[in-house]
């Protein structure tokens, strides 16, 4: 099965930027929808952004529109999340997820079968 490993998390001040990466292994992911999800302590998991297998379609949570950009490089088997203008409320564990095609670009975590272990993002005010 596909294995996913996130990296790039860390601590940043409000207004700063981070780029998360998700490296996939064992299988090429060029026929998988992929996405980023996050979960803060005491909160439910939230869909952040999702992208279609070829990158032609994306979907974002309203809370991150205009600030976050999801992208992928299928030649590197890697998914990215560029986060800018970070806010304290963006603090969470961020998870990468994948679902094999045929797939839909949806922000529902229950739709995705494969998950990484997560990378922590902490934004201080």
Kindly report, residue by residue over 17-66, the tens digit of the pLDDT.
999 999 999 999 999 999 999 999 999 999 999 999 999 999 999 999 99
Confidence of residue 95 (pLDDT cuts 50, 70, 90): very high
Structure tokens at 19: 């780029």
Chain mean pLDDT for the chain: 97
Q: Tell me if 117 sits within 8 A of 3, measured CB to CB.
A: no
Please state, as a whole number, how many other Cβ atoms lie within 10 Å of the Cβ of residue 121: 22
Structure tokens at 124: 């201080």
Average pLDDT over residues 59-81: 98
Q: State how far the Cα of 108 lies from the Cα of 42, in Å rounded to an integer.
A: 19
Q: Cis peptide before 102, with omega less than 30 degrees from 0?
A: yes
Angle at 33 between CA 23 and CA 68, to 5 degrees: 70
């Amino acid at each position: 099965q596909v294995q996913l490993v996130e990296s790039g998390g860390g601590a940043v001040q409000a207004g700063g930027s981070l780029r998360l990466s998700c490296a996939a292994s064992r299988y090429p992911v060029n026929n998988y929808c992929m996405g980023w999800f996050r979960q803060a302590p005491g909160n439910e998991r939230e869909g952040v952004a999702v992208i279609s297998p070829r990158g032609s379609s994306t979907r974002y949570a309203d809370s991150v529109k205009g600030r976050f950009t999801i992208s992928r490089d299928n030649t590197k088997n890697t998914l990215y999340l560029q986060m800018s203008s970070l806010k304290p409320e963006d603090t969470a564990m961020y998870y990468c997820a994948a679902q094999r095609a045929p797939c839909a670009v949806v922000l529902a975590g229950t739709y995705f079968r494969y998950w990484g272990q997560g990378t922590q993002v902490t934004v201080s005010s």
